[in-house]
Structures are given as structure tokens and as C-alpha cells.
Amino acid sequence: MNAGAGLTGRTGRTQVFEVSTLYGAATLAAALDAGMFEPGRRVLLVTNNAAVPEAAATLDEMTGWAAIAARFDTVVDWNETVFPNHPSLWAPPETDTAAWQRLLRVAWDLGNGPLDLVVESVHAKPAAALAEIFADADVHVYADGLMSYGPTRERLLWPTACRVQRLLHLDLLPGLTPLLLSEFGAPAEIVPDAAFRAVLDEISGACAEPAVARRVPGERTAVILGQYLAALNILSAAQEEGLHERMLRGAARAGCAHVVFKPHPTAPAQYSKALEKAAADAGVRLTVLDTPMLAETVFDRVGPDLVVGCFSTAMLTASVYYGIPIARVGTDLVLGRLRPFQNSNRVPVSLVDAYVPDIEALTGGLETLPGTPEDAGAALGALVRVLGYTMQPRMHAPLRGGAEQWLAEHQGGLAARYVRRSKLTALALPGGFASGVAGQMPGRRAALRLVRKVRARTVGKS
């Protein structure tokens, strides 16, 4: 990968920006353009976290990558640095971190001065490994998706947690404050909408084709988004294939005669083949995109009348930054499949389920699709806090009181949809088995053990 042009000679703190997606890189570019980082030497550290990196599209193959990379003095490849180790698995032994820092400071020309480390998913590798290696660096975390609204996946070790300066995030659900890293008091800062949209336009402008899919005048077009959930072991390949077919049929029922399928970059080819038959059966024209590009480039170039997905962040981007109607499919299926309960996808799925209309519930055409409420962010805040507490009760113990109130008010409805009864029982919350009895008995732990035994016997007899 090549260094950015014309950026040498900067003074100030050296900054290392870790990215694994073009969307994340666009978020960082927007933050830079908005002046959210002081001037300094900027190193873009690219990592490919796919299960088989050699078989996945690389960032420099993505449409618009060159414009993003030009903002940095140097672009370096983390996969090459740690080869033959996988970047999502490797971390140096604790005794070797100081040696690795000296090595990388020389190899990447970082100097010996203060360092800012800007990473995504600081609790997971490779970001966690980088935070260990650069043990004296200030850590800035950026989130480019809906996961920023959920709790931190697992408690950070204090040597890293005490260095987290802030969380940068997109305002995908206006009015909703992210829960990520809030347990450490890290302030959440919004990357300005105008700056991010300008970067998206810059990326789209790099697309060589005037239109990525041919439109017929007067013909309604929908874009459906693949996520490749089978790779995460959330759905089977057959279930995900069926999900795409449901998206297509829903778009057809809404009156769209043309459907553009934007697959995940690592999706298997048979997904497209299955959709071809579904499109023929539904009587719609299908375009499958095989050029690696952002979904947002498709939105800009196609100008669709509708975007349909499961819980892809790109759905919210379509609504917030492009004003395109959005609809969901299959969130109930995914909610039932997520394991364990603290799976970090739970909050994104729940938010889309609660916020985005279900296209399969439409009784008419596209004009009957409900709009997304403008004040939804505030309303969704209570749900996020409930999920944050039930997913990470020790980390977010102060949220228990609000969770109890919300669950008591929504028993049998929303509470049952988003929080399993077994989880409510284990935490002695409203809606759980004999939660009222458990809450009144002396010795909370003993009471909970008794409740679990009674519940097990009851289930065994039924």
C-alpha cells in the first residue's frame, strides 16, 4: 500500500489510525475533515479481519479507497506485519510488548514522541493488541455502526481503560446516546453529518460507471443488503439465503419492479443464484453487484426508492444521509438465534427491530410504508439501557432501577421480545419466573438458586 501524497512535514502528535472497513475509514476521514484531530503525522494501519483474508477483497480494491488514503502520510498493512498470524487472533506475549513498540516505532517512522492510537473495537484484536503494544499512547475509539449504542462487550483492563479519551460515532439514531465505553466516563462525540456525507460523495465520485445499475424510467427500484450472517454463525447458509429471498419478495410486494442486490464482500456466489430464481418467480428484474464498493455508493448512484435489509448499519445510513425509505426483514429470526445473550449484535438487531418498519407487514404498496419517527432516539434510549443492564449487569449496575421500571411497564410485550425470560429470572427482574418472590426472599443469591430449581422442575413436568 502506498503513502498519502503531499502530507509530509506536519508537526504535532503522531497518530495511528486502525481501520478494517472502507466505511470505518470514511468515518475517520470525516472526523479529520471536521477538525476532530489536531495536525500531526498520520499513519493509516489497515487490517483485514476476514476469516480467510487472502480470499476477501482488500480495502485498496474498493471504489473510492484512494481518496481516503490520500489524507494520511503513510498506509501500512497489519496483516503483513503479523504474518503468518491472523490479525483477529494474534497478540504479543506480555513480555514482548515493549520490544514490539520499539520495532514498530522504527518500522513505521513514528519517532519517540507522544502517540495517539485511534482504533475500532478496542476490546477485541487487533485493536486490543495495539493498545497493549503502545502502552503509553492515548486511545481514541471510533464506532462506524449500530454497535456503538450497545454496552462494551467485555470489561477492559484498567491499563487500557484509563487511556480511553473519547468515543467518536455517527449520529445514526438522532437523540440516542451510545452506551459503549460509558462505564469509564468516556465522552461520546458525534462526527458531523455534513462531513460524513461529503466523504461519501467523494467516494461515490470515484466510481467509474455513471450508474452501477440501469434504471428504467417510471420503474421503482429497491436495494436489498446482504450481511453474510452465516459467517458469524448467527444463521445457517440456507437461512440467510432465505432471508435474501424474503427481502426480494417484500420489495416486489411494495411495488418495486427492479431489485439491486448488494451482497456482503465475502458472501458465497450461490446466494446470487438463489435470488435469480426468486426474482423470476416474483416477476422482478434483478441486478447483482459484483464490484467491491460501499452500499452508500450504490444509494448515491442508483437513487433507490427503497432499501431493505436485516440489521445492516447501511439501512440507517440510507435513511439519515440519503432520505431513502427503509424496511427490515428477519430481525425476529435473528433475535431468537443470538447466543450468548450478551452477543454484541443484540443491540443493533433490537434497535432496527424497534425502529424500522417490517416490510412483510405491509398491507399495500410502498406508499403505505410507515416513516421512521423523528423522536425515536429518545424513545429507544430506555430500551438500550434495559439491554445494557441485562447484557452486562455488573458493568452497568446503576441502570438496574430504570430497567426494572421499564420491564414492569412492558411485561408480556416488548420485554418478552427483547429480553429472554431466563435472563429476567436469573437477574430477578420483572417478567422472570417468580421474580416477585425472589425479590422478597432474604439472601438474593440463595433466592435466585431456589427460583432456578423450581423453574427447572416446572419445565421438566410440562
Question: Would you say residue 258 lies in a domain?
Answer: yes
Unique residue bearing C-alpha cell 435470488: 275
- Shared domain for 329 and 412, answered yes or no, is no
Which amino acid does the sequence have at 176? L
Domain boundary residue, one of 319, 334, 362: 362
Residue 215 CA: distances (Å) to CA of 209, 274, 412: 13, 22, 46
Domain boundary residue, one of 185, 203, 221: 203
- Shared domain for 351 and 403, answered yes or no, is no
Unique residue bearing C-alpha cell 454496552: 151
- Shared domain for 124 and 225, answered yes or no, is no
Its domain, for residue 64, covers 14-203
Cβ atoms within 10 Å of 299's Cβ, excluding its own = 22
What is the CATH classification number for the domain harbouring 153?
3.40.50
- Shared domain for 151 and 168, answered yes or no, is yes
Q: Which residues contact 449 (CB under 8 A, 6 or more apart)?
A: none
Domain boundary residue, one of 327, 362, 397: 362
- Shared domain for 356 and 410, answered yes or no, is no
Helix (H) or strand (E) holding 130: helix 127-133
**DSSP 3-state of 220:** coil
pTM of the model: 0.89
- Shared domain for 268 and 149, answered yes or no, is no
- Shared domain for 327 and 412, answered yes or no, is no
pLDDT in tens, the chain (462 residues): 544 434 444 557 899 999 999 999 999 999 999 999 999 999 999 999 888 888 788 899 998 999 999 999 999 999 999 999 999 999 999 999 999 999 999 999 999 999 999 999 898 999 999 999 999 999 999 997 999 999 998 889 899 999 999 999 999 998 899 999 999 999 999 999 999 999 999 999 988 776 677 788 889 999 999 988 988 889 998 999 999 999 999 999 999 999 999 987 666 666 677 899 999 999 999 999 888 889 999 999 999 999 999 999 999 999 999 999 999 999 999 999 999 999 999 999 999 999 999 999 988 888 888 877 666 777 799 999 999 999 999 999 999 999 999 999 998 788 899 999 999 999 999 998 865 554 455 555 565 565 556 555 544 444
Question: Would you say residue 7 lies in a domain?
Answer: no
Closest by alpha carbon to 191, among 136, 134, 145? 145
Distance, in Å, from the CA atom of 312 to the CA atom of 292, rounded to the nearest integer, reads: 17
- Strand arrangement of the beta sheet that strand 42-46 belongs to: 74-77, 42-46, 14-19, 115-119, 138-143, 164-169, 188-190
- Shared domain for 221 and 313, answered yes or no, is yes
- Shared domain for 342 and 410, answered yes or no, is no
Which amino acid does the sequence have at 232? L
What is the CATH classification number for the domain harbouring 234?
3.40.50.1980
Question: Would you say residue 154 lies in a domain?
Answer: yes
Question: Would you say residue 368 lies in a domain?
Answer: no
Beta strand extents in 188-338 (DSSP E only): 188-190, 221-225, 258-262, 285-288, 306-309, 326-328
Task: Tell how many helices (H) and how many strands (E) occur in the chain.
Answer: 19, 12
405 is written with which cell numbers? 421500571
Helix (H) or strand (E) holding 37: none
Question: Would you say residue 8 lies in a domain?
Answer: no
- Shared domain for 178 and 296, answered yes or no, is no
What domain count does the chain have? 3
Distance, in Å, from the CA atom of 330 to the CA atom of 123, rounded to the nearest integer, reads: 29
- Shared domain for 389 and 247, answered yes or no, is no
Cβ atoms within 10 Å of 209's Cβ, excluding its own = 10
- Shared domain for 78 and 183, answered yes or no, is yes
Question: Would you say residue 416 lies in a domain?
Answer: yes
Question: Would you say residue 312 lies in a domain?
Answer: yes
Cβ atoms within 10 Å of 301's Cβ, excluding its own = 19
